[in-house]
Amino acid sequence: MSSSSNAGPALSHLDESGQVRMVDVSGKASTQRSAVAEGRVRMSPEAYRLLSAQENAKGEVLNTARIAGVLASKRCAELIPLCHSLPLSFVGIEFFPDDGASSITVRATCRTDYKTGVEMEAMTACSVAALTIYDMCKAADKGIVLEEIRLRHKSGGKSGEWSND
Amino acid sequence: MSSSSNAGPALSHLDESGQVRMVDVSGKASTQRSAVAEGRVRMSPEAYRLLSAQENAKGEVLNTARIAGVLASKRCAELIPLCHSLPLSFVGIEFFPDDGASSITVRATCRTDYKTGVEMEAMTACSVAALTIYDMCKAADKGIVLEEIRLRHKSGGKSGEWSND
Amino acid sequence: MSSSSNAGPALSHLDESGQVRMVDVSGKASTQRSAVAEGRVRMSPEAYRLLSAQENAKGEVLNTARIAGVLASKRCAELIPLCHSLPLSFVGIEFFPDDGASSITVRATCRTDYKTGVEMEAMTACSVAALTIYDMCKAADKGIVLEEIRLRHKSGGKSGEWSND
Amino acid sequence: MSSSSNAGPALSHLDESGQVRMVDVSGKASTQRSAVAEGRVRMSPEAYRLLSAQENAKGEVLNTARIAGVLASKRCAELIPLCHSLPLSFVGIEFFPDDGASSITVRATCRTDYKTGVEMEAMTACSVAALTIYDMCKAADKGIVLEEIRLRHKSGGKSGEWSND
Amino acid sequence: MSSSSNAGPALSHLDESGQVRMVDVSGKASTQRSAVAEGRVRMSPEAYRLLSAQENAKGEVLNTARIAGVLASKRCAELIPLCHSLPLSFVGIEFFPDDGASSITVRATCRTDYKTGVEMEAMTACSVAALTIYDMCKAADKGIVLEEIRLRHKSGGKSGEWSND
Amino acid sequence: MSSSSNAGPALSHLDESGQVRMVDVSGKASTQRSAVAEGRVRMSPEAYRLLSAQENAKGEVLNTARIAGVLASKRCAELIPLCHSLPLSFVGIEFFPDDGASSITVRATCRTDYKTGVEMEAMTACSVAALTIYDMCKAADKGIVLEEIRLRHKSGGKSGEWSND
What is the mean pLDDT of each successive set of 10 residues along chain A, which is 165 residues long? 44 86 92 97 96 85 97 98 97 96 98 96 98 96 97 91 89
E122 vs E115: CA distance, rounded Å? 16
| ipTM for the assembly | 0.95
Check residue F32 and give its pLDDT.
95
What DSSP string describes chain B?
Answer: ---TTTS----TTB-TTS-B-----TTPPPEEEEEEEEEEEE--HHHHHHHHHSTTHHHHHHHHHHHHHHHHHHTHHHHSTTPPP--EEEEEEEEEEETTTTEEEEEEEEEEEESS--HHHHHHHHHHHHHHHHHHHTTT-TT-EEEEEEEEEEESSTT--EE--
At C18, is the pLDDT very low, low, confident or very high (cuts 50, 70, 90)? confident
Q: pLDDT > 70: what percent of chain B?
A: 95
Please answer yes or no on whether B63 and D21 come within 8 Å at the CB atom. Answer: no
Radius of gyration of chain F (CA): 18
Please answer yes or no on whether B17 and A68 come within 8 Å at the CB atom. Answer: no
Domains and CATH numbers, chain C: 31-154 (3.30.70.640)
Q: Which residues in chain A are closer than 8 Å to C75, comparing Cβ atoms?
A: 78
Backbone phi, psi, residue B150, to 5°: -155, 160
Chains in contact with E, where contact requires at least 3 CB pairs less than 8 Å apart: A, C, D, F
**pLDDT digit string (tens) for C91-120?**
999 999 999 999 999 999 999 999 999 999
- Given F15, F24, F99, F135, the catalytic residue: F135
E42 in Cβ contact with E133 (< 8 Å): no
At D160, is the pLDDT very low, low, confident or very high (cuts 50, 70, 90)? confident
Nearest CA in chain B to C59: B60
Q: Which residues in chain D are closer than 8 Å to E71, comparing Cβ atoms?
A: 71
- Given A15, A24, A99, A135, the catalytic residue: A135
C58 vs C99: CA distance, rounded Å? 12
Chains in contact with A, where contact requires at least 3 CB pairs less than 8 Å apart: B, C, E, F
Higher per-residue pLDDT: C14 or C73: C73
pLDDT at C7 over 80: no
Check residue A157 and give its pLDDT.
86
Q: pLDDT > 90: what percent of chain D?
A: 78
What DSSP string describes C30-67?
Answer: PEEEEEEEEEEEE--HHHHHHHHHSTTHHHHHHHHHHH
Q: Which residues in chain F are closer than 8 Å to A63, comparing Cβ atoms?
A: 60, 63-64, 67
Q: Which residues in chain E are closer than 8 Å to A74, comparing Cβ atoms?
A: 77-78, 85
A67 in Cβ contact with A60 (< 8 Å): no
Nearest CA in chain E to C15: E92
State the nearest Cα–Cα gap between E62 and chain D, in angstroms. 10
**pLDDT digit string (tens) for E107-165?**
999 999 999 999 999 999 999 999 999 999 999 999 999 999 999 999 998 878 999 87
Cα→Cα distances E33→E73, E88, E156, Å:
15, 10, 4
Nearest CB among B9, B135, B139 relative to A9 is that of B139
Nearest CB among A64, A79, A83 relative to B20 is that of A64
Looking at the DSSP bridge assignments, the partners of residue A91 are: A110
Cα→Cα distances B151→B102, B110, B127, C11, E26, Å:
22, 11, 11, 54, 38
Check residue B27 and give its pLDDT.
83
pLDDT at D7 over 50: no
**pLDDT digit string (tens) for F72-119?**
999 999 999 999 999 999 999 999 999 999 999 999 999 999 999 999
